[in-house]
Each structure stands twice: as C-alpha cells, then as structure tokens.
C-alpha cells in the first residue's frame, strides 16, 4: 500500500532545502545528532550581544533559504538548554518561515530570566524544524457543528490527570522516584 495514503500530511518533497549565506561568517544549519528533529541556527554577530532581563533582540543568522514548495514551512523553536537554564526564548513563541520568503532568517529572542545573558557570535540560538503545512480553503458558515466541549477553553478541562489516565507511582523510594522531603513532597514538586 502507498504510505502516503496512510498519512494525514502531504508527502514530503524529495527536493533539498536550498541555503544561501548572506555573509561569509554565517554558519550553515546543522542537526546536532542523527535523531535531532531540528537544525541548529547560529547567531551571525560581529560582537557579543548581552540581553538584560526583559530585553528583546532580533538576532541575524546570515542565512536565507528556499523551501521545496508550499506544502512545508520552516518553524523556529527555542533551544531547550537556553530556555530552561537561562530564560532565553523566542519573543514570538514560534517563528514561521514561509515557503516563499527569501529574506534573511532572523530570530527574535527575549530574556525572561533573572540574569543578563550574553550571546556570542556563532552561538546556537534556535532550532529550525521543517513541517508540513495544509493550505486548506476557508468556508464561511452561519453555525459550527456542536461538540461536547463547546466553547470551553483556557483551562476548562482542569489540570488533574484525566479518568483512566495512567500516572507514575513507584512502589518504593529509589525505584526511579525522587527522595521525599520531610513534608512528604518531592524536593522539586511545585518548582516549575
């Protein structure tokens, strides 16, 4: 059976992504490991740039790309280490590079941490993931089909595990469970 029949996504184009260096010092995107979903994007800076807490900056990569076609787009995500350890994340949440965009890829960063962070020239600042895109037509209607959820949103389903949802509960301390503090709570419970 044709694998594309089983997938809800358009077939992956066989053409490679074309990349153009706009400056000689630009670093080509690269996957850190064989299984990495994203290709790391590096800062194309002439000198270090410090982001104070609350600061926003648009960081150039010195690169432009041409995607194979409108059935895919490049999405820019934060690097987990920068976000978790230093509070450096994308100022627009997720960056989108459309298939017909030919300008320089720039990464909007913000510092939501408590300490200044200095970005060095050539530092890996974001990751780029190529994902399928559906360009579906819009149809205006007077009413939408009803669902059991209805208009509930923004936490309307709560935060507790759902009925029947499995949770991890090791039987003894030390079997993959963090040691409990004197209060009986995990030492990291409630810190995120």
157-169 confidence digits (pLDDT tens): 787 887 877 777 6
pLDDT tens, 26-70?
A: 999 999 999 999 999 999 999 999 999 999 999 999 999 999 999
Phi then psi for residue 105, to 5 deg, are -75, 120
- The Cα–Cα gap between 163 and 141 comes to 35
Measure Cα distances from 132 to 13, 29, 43, 67, 112 in Å: 10, 19, 26, 11, 30
pLDDT at 186: 47
Encode pLDDT of 58-90 as tens digits: 999 999 999 999 999 999 999 999 999 999 999
**pTM of the entire predicted model:** 0.76
End-to-end CA distance of the chain: 46
Options 2.60.40.10, 2.60.40.730, 2.70.40.10, 3.40.630.30; CATH for 18-132 is 2.70.40.10
Q: Give the domain ranges of the chain.
A: 18-132
Bigger pLDDT: 2 vs 179: 2
Per DSSP, 2 falls in state -
Phi, psi for 180 (deg, rounded to 5): -85, 150
Phi, psi (deg, nearest 5) at residue 49: -130, 125
The sign of the CA dihedral 85, 89, 94, 96 is: negative
Q: What is the pLDDT of residue 158?
A: 80
Closest CA to 121 of 59, 65, 78: 59
More confident residue, 63 or 154: 63
What is the pLDDT confidence band of residue 10, given thresholds at 50, 70 and 90? Answer: low
- Express each pLDDT in 99-152 by its tens digit: 999 999 999 999 999 999 999 999 999 999 999 998 889 999 999 999 888 887
User: What would the 3-class secondary structure string for 20-83 be?
Assistant: EECCCCCCCCECCCCCCCCEEEECCCCCCEEECCCCEEEEECCEEEECCCCCEEEEEEECHHHH
């Amino acid at each position: 059976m044709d694998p594309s029949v089983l997938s809800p996504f358009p077939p992956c184009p066989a053409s490679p992504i074309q990349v153009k260096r706009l400056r000689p010092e630009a670093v080509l995107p690269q996957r850190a490991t064989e299984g990495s979903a994203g290709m790391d994007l590096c800062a194309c800076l002439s000198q270090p740039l410090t982001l104070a807490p609350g600061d926003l900056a648009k960081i150039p990569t010195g690169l432009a790309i041409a995607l194979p076609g409108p059935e895919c787009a490049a999405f820019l995500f934060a690097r987990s280490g920068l976000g978790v350890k230093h509070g450096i994340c994308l100022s627009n949440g997720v960056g989108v590079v459309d298939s017909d965009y030919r300008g320089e890829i720039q990464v909007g960063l913000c510092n939501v941490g408590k300490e200044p962070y200095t970005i060095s020239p050539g530092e890996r600042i974001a990751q780029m993931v190529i994902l399928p895109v559906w360009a579906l037509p819009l149809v205006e209607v007077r009413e939408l089909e009803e669902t059991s959820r209805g208009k509930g949103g923004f936490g309307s389903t709560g935060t507790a595990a759902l009925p029947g949802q499995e949770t991890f509960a090791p039987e003894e301390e030390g079997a993959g469970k963090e040691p409990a503090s004197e209060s009986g709570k995990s030492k990291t419970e409630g810190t995120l």
